Homo-oligomer: A and B are copies of this chain.
Amino acid sequence: MADSTLDRFDRAILAILQEDNTTPQRRIGELVHLSTAAVQRRIRRLEQTGVIQANTAQLDPARLGRAITLIVEISVESERLDLLDATRARLAAAPEVQQCYYVTGASDFVLIVTVTTMAEYQALTRRLFFADGNVKSFRTHVVMDRIKTGTRIPVD
């Protein structure tokens, strides 16, 4: 899982798949100037070596009733490893928690949360924050506009 340097072909393929992984391999081959077989083998290698972690559909949260997005900063009481790990596991397990980062700075965790109603969020805070003895405080930002979302990263 170490080196496997990516050449410009790999990067070009990744750039395409990152935008639309339903692009036919034949089309990718035309774009990057390789045969479909070569494209196919490179994609398989990228998947097996973990460069490509998953192939997923991006859904519109609003259309699924989850119109509210929140960003939450959490501060913990103690940085003791076992307590941190417990909190970490609890946060990651919650389906409403879309993303969770352990960070430096004023807070310890930053979450991105999606809910259908503020009542649901209130319930979540009770279940996830107040019930967790190690959560000292949390600060909530309500998202008014999701200007840019996704997991796209530059490939060059």
Q: State in angstroms the CA–CA spacing of A18 and B73 once bound together.
A: 26
Q: Are A105 and B142 in contact, CB atoms less than 8 angstroms apart? A: yes
Residue tally, chain A, CB below 8 Å to B: 62
Would you call A146 an interface residue if the criterion is a C-beta within 8 Å of the partner chain's C-beta atoms?
yes
- Of the stretches A33-41, A88-96, A125-133, the one at the interface is A88-96
Q: Are A97 and B148 in contact, CB atoms less than 8 angstroms apart? A: yes
Q: A64-B153, A71-B110 are in contact. List 4 more A-B contacts (CB 8 A).
A: A14-B57, A51-B59, A52-B60, A95-B154
CB pairs A–B below 8 angstroms (21 shown): A17-B57, A18-B57, A20-B54, A50-B63, A52-B57, A53-B58, A54-B57, A54-B58, A55-B55, A56-B56, A59-B155, A61-B153, A64-B154, A64-B155, A91-B147, A95-B154, A97-B148, A105-B141, A105-B142, A109-B147, A149-B151
